[in-house]
Structure 1
Amino acid sequence: MIDSLAGLHERARQRLDPVHYDFFAGGAGAEVALAENERAFGRLALRPRVLRGNDIRDLRTTLPGARAAVPIFVSPTAFHRLAHPDGELATARATAAAGAVLISSMAATVAIGEVAAAARAVDPAAAVWFQLYLQRDPAVTEHLVRHAEAAGCSALVITVDSPVFGHRERDQHNGFHDLPAGLTTANMQDLPGGPREIDMSAAFTWAHLARLRALTRLPLLLKGILHPADARLAVEAGLDGIIVSNHGGRQLDAAPAGIEALPPIVSTVDGEIPVLLDGGVRRGSDAVIALALGATAIGLGRPVLWGLAAAGESGVRQVLELIRAELDHVLTLCGASRPAELTPDLVVPRGCRC
């Protein structure tokens, strides 16, 4: 049993093929945005309240199409079977056991129907969302939506920060372009006209989201929002939530850290829809900072992959339990009984004479 994310990360690094490790660990360009996701949390401090009578705490939260035991979701990440043979099945079981929300990637190595079934075998009420890139061929997009609905997914997460793939220098250096023999992008196999590659486009507009909205009654969340104006447009377009994210630093290397982009977006949305955040959360204190600044829930991406690579389902459980326990501990120290009691005045710049 390893008792820190750093320990799980190191074990994962030792066990993974170096090329696959670089695929998971790397970011776009010079990896400035990747590093800033974590560094930005280090520039913030928590100013706790005391004598608040918060000996009993409740971490439950309500999200679109989900009631979660913790304000945590597993961010969509590709190719889990590169990390462990059980791949997304192990991730789904561990996430369900933790009472968190799983966002299963369109680029998963296990099809969404199997992923959702694995989660619900652990907890029939487990919340599974499906992450989707809009496709040039609208028939493919609709087919994927119908697969997600049939699987019992309770929301769709549309990633909108990827009109093209980011330039990832580690992958270019390693020549990593295709999955090894025996692995596939499972959701892209049973499609009209046969298997296809993920096919994104810079031509998409808000009108394409309106067409998607007309296709399904599932809640829709947009992932990859960094500008307050886009957050306002999401509200006006009738979206059910947004995820503030710079794609783990894997798209635009000049992008701000998610936690830096969060406060003005929260202000713009003004409580009309939930605002979630991922990117750089490595400790419970990071999670509490994000929740205090207005996030409804926080996402974990690479830490889940490190747990999966280090110890399969057990490793993912360790990651989620570590963050849950630390979140509860920091919540206690800050004088709060539940995430909704956290307020922005608890967060100050480190070194501030406030």
Structure 2
Amino acid sequence: MKKKLIATLTALTLVLGLTSCATETKDQGVTTKTPVVETFAAEYEMKGTTSAGKPKNDTFIFEGTTEDGVITELNFDIIRNKGTEGEYSKKDIMGYQMNVSDVQIEKVGEDYKLTKLSAAGYDDAFEGGQYMVTASADVITDTTTFKDLTFINLATQAELEFDKAIAAYKYVAVEAGIEDLNEETLVKDIISKHELYKDGSFVEGVNRISFAGYNGGRSYGEQIDAIATHILNEKMTLEEVYEMFKTVNQMDQPIADRDVVSGATISFVGDFQRMVYVAINGELFEGVVTHTITDGNTKVEVVTQGYGGEVETHVTFDGEGKITEIAIRDAQETPEIGGVLTAENSEFINSLIEGQDKIDDVEVVSGATKTSEALVKAVKLATEYYKGL
């Protein structure tokens, strides 16, 4: 499921403490150096809505210990809806649907019903790559085959074509030891991995498993753990982690190319990068996040600080270096004040495009000073960055 992020930093705690200083001691002519040990702890909250339009917030937890700058201990977690009744960790396999499969079996009289056999993951067979599908059967027996199921695309609520069903469930099948998923594959052999078919009989209940998806990444939580393991195994510094989140696994990189961090194909969008920035600097992030080039146009993604938090601005340059579009991807400015400036094709945004050659002469808006200053700064940062490409 693609997530829509409204880039607003609403909560931040930072602890950077020196727990020991480098010292040298001599014993019988042998000099021993005690490493510099530091602790770091950043908590970074992003508010917004899911792709289904439901409110959400993600709190990024990044804390640990360094010795002589190298990270030796690390706790990396993402908490959805922290502090609310619906709080859960995205590392919890039951909390976030990525490369997971659910099965629900019900007993109806003397028969068993397959209420749900779902799969959520990524495959090129689907538009946009990501998919969430489910299958069912009113009656399921030892001889029920894969072709006997009814398949639904949860994104459209429409019946799913059989070839796409094969594409979606082949990863679940491999997890169950089935290398060639086809029409005649027995459903009981697939759900045996979910432990809802045991000892020659179906089992009433619900269970979820994770599976190795496209290019190897497993559930979201397993991928977060893979990132943490990579950081520790590579003996990385905070600065190196920041650079990794800035350059590796970007949205414009095909998933098949996201193999620098073994076991993690999730995209490192700006929140990963800014989380580590906070841990390093102890302050809110402002600057260019990334850029993309499409049909000769360069779009620069910039983050500045407005009245309500982060303002994420996309500034597009044509082949001649002229700004042709300024779009605010997400902002949490006051709707009747700063929100008027950040609205699509607002008068202020148009004034920035028209006045791009004399950006310092663009007047800030009285009553929305911080918002207008954030947008002016975004244009300046994007222009400087574009000229340096």
Q: TM-score, normalised by structure 1?
A: 0.29
- Could you say which structure has the higher strand fraction? 2
Tell which has more relative contact order, 1 or 2 (C-alpha 8 A, sep 6+). 1
User: Larger C-alpha radius of gyration, 1 or 2?
Assistant: 2
- Could you say which structure has the higher helix fraction? 1
Q: TM-score, normalised by structure 2?
A: 0.27
